[in-house]
Structure 1
Amino acid sequence: MDLSEIKETSWDYVFVGGGLAASVVAHRLHEFDPKLKILVVEAGPNANDSPDVIAPSSTHLVKGVFDWKYKTVEQKHLNGRQIDWPAGKALGGGTLINSNGWIRGDKFDYDLWGSKVNDPRWSYDGLLPFMKKSESFKGENINKEQRGVDGPSFIQSVTSTNRHFPLRSHALQSWAELGVEALPGLDANAGCSVGVGDLQENKENGQREIASVVYPLDGITILTDTLVEKVLTEKTPEGILSAAGVKLSNGEEIRGREIILSAGAIRTPQILKLSGIGPAEELNKFKIPVVLDLPGVGEGLADHTIFLHQWKLKDPSDGWALGSNNPLFSKPQYGWGSPMDFLATVDVPKEGLKAAIAEDEGSVPDPSTHPLLKPKRPFAENVFMYAGAPDGSLVTFALVMLLTTSRGSVKLASDNIQDHPLIDPNYLSTAVDRYAIREAIKMQIKFVGSDATIMGREIIDGATSVPGFDQVLSKDSTDEYIDALLRAGVGTCFHPMGTAAMGSVVDTDLLVKGVHNLRIVDASVFPVVITGHTQVATFALAEQAAEIIYAGRR
């Protein structure tokens, strides 16, 4: 269908953005009623059939042709650095460029979400059927009360692909020596994520799964390489504000009965603001007519951070890491996923956390009620990878901070949709985040750099040097040195969320407050931080959104 036909069609649903969430919702709506007229408008290309994206060794991922290549503004608490900020720019969105980690997050997160918006549909039990509906998890002794076995997304694990790395038993023993126990069935996607779980990825035999492929868009009209500038709104004589269509960056207009913003946590608030929906003060600055003063748009940006460091092996000829002469690594399945066995997710010491909370909040928190103190919370995800040098002499430790409390914003740089917005995640701006990441690094140092574990005693021979620093990480590292290293090295996990949050910007049916026929379905609506890799929560959000939208239609 060409653009002239698209303009002349009266669409039931127009999706702005063709990423993960749009792929799921559009697919399900078409499945519910094939007669629906559905249009998906995507700024990037259709790469569904691109073999070099699907292949495990793709070079077109982060910083490639399907990445928006954003940068943050200078980060006050990271030595003024600007951080590269990847985001998928193609049909399927982030599923083209992400690391495929399939990590649901903890039950507590979702229950906090449900209680915050006073709607049990968004609690863990409310979203669990949709988490299960989205996945097809393969393995032995599957907990079918928690896991889906016949959904569109195929989930492989280290165990199911028979990737038993040589340091597997050493890693498991070392975590146990630090008091981090293996989860039942090594499954961190069964409600509780604090502990050691098998790495799980949405891949099949190493092949990347693009959302717009596993949720096929057959029967749906797709307009790619097309940027939407704004949502068109109208007012009835009674003063009711309603979405009526979209305006493209080339000036063309397309009409629809319902508009669904699925442009992601960065572009969705930008499009809303350019549509005149957002904080009036900011819109006035760019002389954008205020259609609706909605202060929450673009606020509350949250992201997970990552920090990496490398350690030397005592004897690389033992064949512990990729790049060594170990014949095990020549087996094809060892190229099917990330070079690691486990994700170890941990809390942080509560006493120091209490003091950090008091510093941020101005009063001593009650441990029996404060959400960061009462339960075990998954603050940090430890990713110990058996790779780091071409000759197999190094291993790499990544620290992903999942439970971040710093909040930032997405603001307009101009009134032109072609200009990237100003992205400010405000990393490490809270005492809690600075304390938690420092304590998490100390645990990693203990894991690889001390006699407390078999890994430290027998396998690892100290950290590598870090450019610009006169010493390496060790058990003697001071808090000040660790903090300086973090300020110089922290980056993004590209898990942005919260910039059009449920409760402040959308209601629990995902309708933008004060605007009829306009919904948002993407990670921007998360009202709390999800302590997992956000694609899982977004799949579940979209599965439930499709049912909500279709039920509303009926």
Structure 2
Amino acid sequence: MLWDYIVVGGGLSGSVVSNRLLQQDDSLKILLIEAGPNANDQNIWPNATNTIGGTYDWRLTSTPQAHVDNRSITLAQGKALGGGTLINMGLWTRGDRSEYDIWSKIVGDKRWSYDGLLPYMKKTELYWNHTTNSEQHGYEGRVHLQTPNSTNRTYPLRQKVLQSWEQVGVSALPFLDANAGDIHGVAEFSECRDQGRRQTASAIYSLDGITVLTDTLVAKVLITGPEGCPSASGIQLDNGTIIFGHEVILAAGAVHTPQLLMLSGIGPKVELSKHGIPVKKDLPDVGNNYADHLLSPSAWKVKNPEQGWALGSSNPVFKSAANALGSSADFVVTTSIKGDGLAKAIEADEGRAPSPDHPLLRNGAFFEHIMLYTGSTDGSRVSFSGISLSPMSRGSVTLASADISDPPVIDPNYLATAVDRYVYREGVRQEVAVAGSTQTVLGREILDGEAQPEGFDQPYTPDSTDEYIDARIRATARSVHHPMGTAAMGNVVDTNLRVKGVCGLRIVDASVLPVVIPTHLMVAVYAVAEQAAEIILQDQKQGTKCIPPPERENSGTSTTKCERWTMGSAPQ
């Protein structure tokens, strides 16, 4: 059989693009191939098996990280139908309008701006009310959204936490909504849950009518065609089976997509030659531009645990059925990082003092803070997760060998820039101001300082030195599991998601993001996949097809230039 579309990777983006293609044209023959199992019956929350390091995780690790005490960092990636939506936290945040607009400007295509992607963000959502920024939200999508408010999870420190952030200069967003284009401030914690049930992409975007192969590893994309005009004609499985198709869509994620490209002969010539892989298309940027968000946690002691402030106490709020519907958190808080120290860090990285209009000196979305009512079994602690949202450091994905069974070499290059180290340090100081100082009601009345971490002789305090904070971050930082950028739009794919210079091959996943989106990536990837399906179908309707240029009469030679022509309109 000759398939119309072969989709490699049954995670979020692969499930969505397959579903939407078939929904618009039920005559299409679509094959979806997933390396992991079908776990659609596991879409409940909580579920102990669906965790990082569990059954449905690739269990990848990074190379030793020079700026993180030479530790190898766990890099979770979903390995099952639904991908990351089967194991992630479920936090639903779009990110800031400005970063999408930078993306659009870089590639010269308004479809990838915030306003260009907004219809697809809305198309995905089934929002929980019609009064919060109704022009920004969708009400007919597949993904059910919920908040503590919508599920009647009234946590005891809600007002005090809100007041404390205000006391350090961070205000509440209008309607407490971070999904309206501006994320600077305090927003309600929003999750993709349906009354607590996990929303696995492959379950809510039905794969009925699509041929699905699970527990099946793709070894490479088959690249054929004359020299100078490579074309994807199908895929080869790791057992040697060949499957042909008109178009191959890679949706394997920001780690495995570049690995597959390189194993197929598409990537940096030097890297391919190192492993004896014939070069089909020299694309130097494949596997580069790797970016990820980094998290460092802290735990804070409760002064009077018997008053019922935290999970594990006798407070009936934490024992209620409603509490089990989602994460024990009120808010997600996004802050900028300012001050002379940022300019000095930029100078350290760039070798000269930045001008006042330097892009990093704008009001960027640099850091995210989440206070959780968890941290002990007896209600004596709460915790903070501090996440660096806009890292400047860039890493890479390269090959360990020419065998798909060998995991790729992943070097995120965490905290490699002075800016990243400064931003993280200042983000921690913001949390210390909220949780551990007399500036706030939380610090004065509720909490009793940081719980001294194992391996350190002191807790965080407002007087902690830069050196001590840096050491703590190096020792505790871990991935938020948001890899992106390794097949970036503009460098590896065009704005129609087609791999540059290779006919019949597209990429639809987080690897195409050319900029770091300062948020949890799920909304952005849903929107990319939704728009991708429309772009692919538009090409189909127009009859656009990759074909090599015909030999010209009396020329005596044939051109090797590779172009895309509408079927039937090739020059004569």
**Same structural fold, with TM-score higher than 0.5 when normalized by the shorter chain:** yes
Q: CA deviation at 1:59?
A: 3.3
State the distance in 2 between where 1:86 and 1:182 align. Answer: 32
Matched, 1:470 2:444: no
Q: CA deviation at 1:351?
A: 2.4
Matching residue's letter, 1:300: N
Q: Aligned residue for 1:6?
A: none
State the distance in 2 between where 1:254 and 1:225 align. Answer: 16
- SS of the equivalent of 2:286 reads coil
| Alignment partner of 1:305 out of 262, 280, 294 | 294
Q: Aligned residue for 2:223?
A: 233
Q: Say whether the 8 Å CA contact 1:139–1:157 is kept in structure 2.
A: no
Q: Aligned residue for 1:445?
A: 432
State the distance in 1 between where 2:130 and 2:487 align. Answer: 40
| Alignment partner of 1:541 out of 503, 512, 528 | 528
Q: Aligned residue for 1:479?
A: 466
Q: Say whether the 8 Å CA contact 2:49–2:55 is kept in structure 1.
A: no
Matched, 1:342 2:319: no
Q: Which runs of 5+ in 2 are unaligned?
A: 542-572
CA deviations 1:72-96 (Å, max 9, x no partner) are 0000001100011110000011000
Q: Say whether the 8 Å CA contact 1:95–1:209 is kept in structure 2.
A: yes
Matched, 1:36 2:44: no
- SS of the equivalent of 2:37 reads coil
Matched, 1:216 2:206: yes
Matched, 1:205 2:195: yes
- SS of the equivalent of 1:90 reads coil
State the distance in 2 between where 1:94 and 1:192 align. Answer: 25
State the distance in 2 between where 1:192 and 1:136 align. Answer: 20
Q: Say whether the 8 Å CA contact 1:139–1:159 is kept in structure 2.
A: no
| Alignment partner of 1:14 out of 3, 6, 25 | 6
TM-score w.r.t. the length of structure 1 is 0.97
| Alignment partner of 2:54 out of 61, 64, 67 | 64
Q: Aligned residue for 2:68?
A: 78
- SS of the equivalent of 1:400 reads strand
Q: Aligned residue for 2:369?
A: 382
| Alignment partner of 1:48 out of 40, 62, 70 | 40
State the distance in 1 between where 2:230 and 2:130 align. Answer: 53
Matching residue's letter, 2:263: L
Matched, 1:371 2:356: no
Q: Say whether the 8 Å CA contact 1:447–1:455 is kept in structure 2.
A: yes
Matched, 1:254 2:254: no
Cα distance change of structure 1 residues 41 and 477 upon mapping to structure 2, 3 Å threshold: same
Aligned length: 541
Matching residue's letter, 2:10: G
- SS of the equivalent of 1:254 reads strand
The 5 Å alignment of 1:477-516 reads: 477-516=464-503
Q: CA deviation at 1:501?
A: 0.2
Matching residue's letter, 1:292: K
State the distance in 1 between where 2:443 and 2:319 align. Answer: 27
Q: Say whether the 8 Å CA contact 2:345–2:422 is kept in structure 1.
A: yes
CA deviations 1:311-365 (Å, max 9, x no partner) are 1000000101111001122221111111110011000114221111121112222
- SS of the equivalent of 2:10 reads coil
User: Post-superposition, which runs of at least 4 consecutive aligned residues in structure 1 deviate over 4 A?
Assistant: none
Q: Say whether the 8 Å CA contact 2:170–2:335 is kept in structure 1.
A: yes
Aligned CA RMSD, in angstroms, stands at 1.0
Q: CA deviation at 1:140?
A: 5.7
Q: Aligned residue for 1:5?
A: none
State the distance in 1 between where 2:228 and 2:254 align. Answer: 29
- SS of the equivalent of 1:200 reads coil
CA deviations 1:122-174 (Å, max 9, x no partner) are 01110011111011110362212111111110111111111110000000000
CA deviations 1:493-537 (Å, max 9, x no partner) are 000000000010000000000101100000000000001110110
State the distance in 2 between where 1:173 and 1:142 align. Answer: 21
Q: Aligned residue for 1:3?
A: none
Matched, 1:175 2:174: no
State the distance in 1 between where 2:50 and 2:121 align. Answer: 29
Q: CA deviation at 1:18?
A: 0.6
Larger Rg: 2
State the distance in 1 between where 2:163 and 2:129 align. Answer: 23
Q: CA deviation at 1:57?
A: 3.9
CA deviations 1:278-314 (Å, max 9, x no partner) are 0010111111111111100000000000000101000
Matched, 1:275 2:264: yes
Q: CA deviation at 1:239?
A: 4.2
- SS of the equivalent of 1:54 reads coil
Matched, 1:87 2:77: yes
CA deviations 1:395-429 (Å, max 9, x no partner) are 01110111111100001011110011011100000
- SS of the equivalent of 2:322 reads helix
State the distance in 2 between where 1:46 and 1:289 align. Answer: 34
Q: Aligned residue for 2:308?
A: 319
Matching residue's letter, 1:341: D
- SS of the equivalent of 2:117 reads helix
- SS of the equivalent of 2:400 reads coil
Matched, 1:114 2:101: no
Cα distance change of structure 1 residues 548 and 140 upon mapping to structure 2, 3 Å threshold: closer
CA deviations 1:267-287 (Å, max 9, x no partner) are 000000000000010111111
State the distance in 1 between where 2:272 and 2:78 align. Answer: 27
Q: CA deviation at 1:210?
A: 0.3
More displaced 10-residue stretch of structure 1: 136-145 or 437-446: 136-145
State the distance in 1 between where 2:129 and 2:431 align. Answer: 29
